[in-house]
Amino acid sequence: MTFEYASAPESTSVVKIKPEYGLFINGKFLPAKGGKVFSTINPATEAHLSKVAFAAPSDVDKAVAAARTAYSKVWSKMPAAERGKYLFRIARILQERAREFAVLETMDNGKPIRETRDTDIPLAAAHFFYHAGWADKLEHAGVGTAPKPHGVVGQIIPWNFPLLMLSWKIAPALATGNTVVLKPAETTPLTALLFAEVCQQAGLPAGVVNIVTGDGSTGAAIVNHPGIDKIAFTGSTDVGKGIARAIAGSKKSATLELGGKGANIVFEDAPIDETVEGIITGIFFNQGHVCCAGSRLLVQENIHDELMAKLKARISKIRVGDPLDKNTDLGAINSSAQLEKIRELTASGVEEGAEQWSPSCNLPSKGFWFPPTVFTGVTQAHKIAREEIFGPVLSVLTFRTPQEAIEKANNTPFGLSAGIWTDKGSRILWTAKHLKAGVIWANTFNKFDPASPFGGYKESGWGREGGRHGLAAYLKGGH
C-alpha cells in the first residue's frame, strides 16, 4: 500500500450563504433597481450558491450619494485616531471570522482552502491592521504636512483575490479619510457582501463603505460618475486603458493595477530545490490567476535540462482537485470564460510549435479545470510568451548571459513583477537594478505584505498599493 492521503475536506457548516444578497448602500442591504439579480456559482462544482443584486447606474448614484454624505458629514470630521479604531475593529473581526471567510472564498472562487486559509484571509486582516495604524500619522506619509483625502473613491476589484483585493482597496482609502463605493467582480461577490456584514458588526458609520455588485456596466457607471474623485482599479490592462481614457479631462485621478507577464530568471548557481519551489509558487499559486505570476521562466541554457527534470518531477506531485480539500494545491479555474481563454492561448502555443507538457492528473468531471501545464521551446515571438494567460501555464525560455536575460525579461509592454534566482549577491542587485518591474522577488516569489508597495511599470499600471507609497496615492497630490 502506498501513502495516499484520504480526502480532508474543510467543513462548510461554518458558512451560511443567504439565498439572495442586496446591494450594501448607506449601511443597509437594498435590492437593485427593478429587483434585478444575477447568480453566482461554485466554479469547482458549477453549483448555484446565491443570487446577487445587479446594480444599475441609478443604484450607483445612490451609493455615491451615500458615500458623499458620509464623507462630508461624518468621516472627514472624525478625529483620525478614531477613524483608525474602526479599521482595527474590522481587522479583528476578519481574524475572528477567518475560517468562515476562507471557506466562503474557496466556494465562490475555486481556489484551494489552503490558500484562502493561509494567505488571502490573514493578509486581508493584516492590511486593515497595517492601515489602521496609518490613520493618525498621515502627516508622515510624504505628501506634505496637512495631506487631504480625495473624497469619494470608486473601487473596482477582480475575481482572483476577492477579499484580499477588497482590503487592498478599502483599508488605505478609509485610513486616509476617503469613503468608498466598491464593486466586486461579477463571479466572486460573496466575500465582499460578507465583509459588508463585518462593517455592520464594527459599527462603521453608514455610507463609509458601499458595495455594489454587478458586471462591467456597473463598473463603467462608477468610473464615469461625476460624484467620484478617484478611481482605484485592479484588473485587465485593456479595461485599465479604457478607464484611463474615460477619466481623461476629468478631475479624477486613478490607481491602476493591471496585467503582467512576469519573467522568473534562473541563473546557473541558483539554489535549485528552492528555485523549483519558487517556480511552482510563481505560476501555480492561485491557479496562475495572478497578475504578478512568474509566467515566463527564463532559464540559463546550461542548466535547462536539469532544472526541467526536477521541475516536472515536482509538478507531478501537485494535487489538483476539490478546493475545499486541505491537501489540494491547485483548485478550479474561476469561470468557464477564463477556462476558454486559457484553452485558446495554450492551443496557440501548440500551433506555434512550442512543446506542451502536463502531468497525468484526474480532473473532476464537473466544474472548470485546467491541469498544470508547461511549454518548453518557447521564444519571445510566441504568443504564449507575450500575452497574459492568467492560468496554470508556464512558458519556458532560455538565455545565455545576464544581459540577454535582462533584454528578454524587459522585452514586454508589461512591467509588474520579476524573479531572480542566484546565489550571488552582487548579481541579484545588478539584475534587480536592470529589470523594469515594480516588484522583484529574489530567491523567493509571490510574497505579499501590507507594508510592501505593489504595482507595475509600463502597461502594468499606475501607482502602488501597500506601504507608504500605496497610502500616498489616496492623498491629494501623492505619488
Using left for φ > 0, alpha for ψ between -120 and 50, and beta otherwise, residue 369 falls in: beta
Residues written for the chain: 479
Select 123 or 333, whichever has its Cβ closest to other proteins. 123
Helix 80-96 to helix 98-109 angle (10° resolution) is 70
Select 214 or 278, whichever has its Cβ closest to other proteins. 278
* Helix, strand, coil percent values for the chain (each to nearest 5): 40, 20, 40
Q: Tell me the closest approach of the beta carbon of residue 373 to other proteins, in angstroms.
A: 21
Q: Tell me the closest approach of the beta carbon of residue 334 to other proteins, in angstroms.
A: 23
CB 381 within 8 A of CB 355: no
426 CB contacts (<8 Å, ≥6 apart)? Answer: none
Residue of 291, 292, 459, 465 marked active site: 291
223 CB contacts (<8 Å, ≥6 apart)? Answer: 154, 156, 231, 233, 243, 246, 247
Q: Which grid cell sits at 163?
A: 477579499
Select 237 or 334, whichever has its Cβ closest to other proteins. 237
C-alpha distance across the termini of the chain, in Å:
60
| φ, ψ of residue 292 in degrees (nearest 5) | -100, 15
CB 108 within 8 A of CB 320: no
Q: Tell me the closest approach of the beta carbon of residue 9 to other proteins, in angstroms.
A: 9
Residue with cell 505628501: 143
Q: Tell me the closest approach of the beta carbon of residue 92 to other proteins, in angstroms.
A: 17
Select 22 or 461, whichever has its Cβ closest to other proteins. 461
Select 31 or 122, whichever has its Cβ closest to other proteins. 122
| φ, ψ of residue 443 in degrees (nearest 5) | 55, 30
Select 94 or 202, whichever has its Cβ closest to other proteins. 94
Q: Tell me the closest approach of the beta carbon of residue 221 to other proteins, in angstroms.
A: 20
Residues found near other proteins in the complex (CB under 8 A): 1-8, 114, 118, 126, 142-143, 237, 240-242, 244-245, 247-249, 256, 258, 269-275, 277-278, 317, 326-327, 413, 423, 428, 432-433, 435, 437-444, 447, 449, 451-455, 457-459, 461-462, 464, 467-469, 477-479
CB 113 within 8 A of CB 328: yes
CB 66 within 8 A of CB 26: yes
Residue of 257, 388, 459, 465 marked active site: 257
Q: Tell me the closest approach of the beta carbon of residue 476 to other proteins, in angstroms.
A: 10
Tell me if residue 291 is catalytic.
yes
Using left for φ > 0, alpha for ψ between -120 and 50, and beta otherwise, residue 26 falls in: left
Active-site annotation, residues = 257, 291
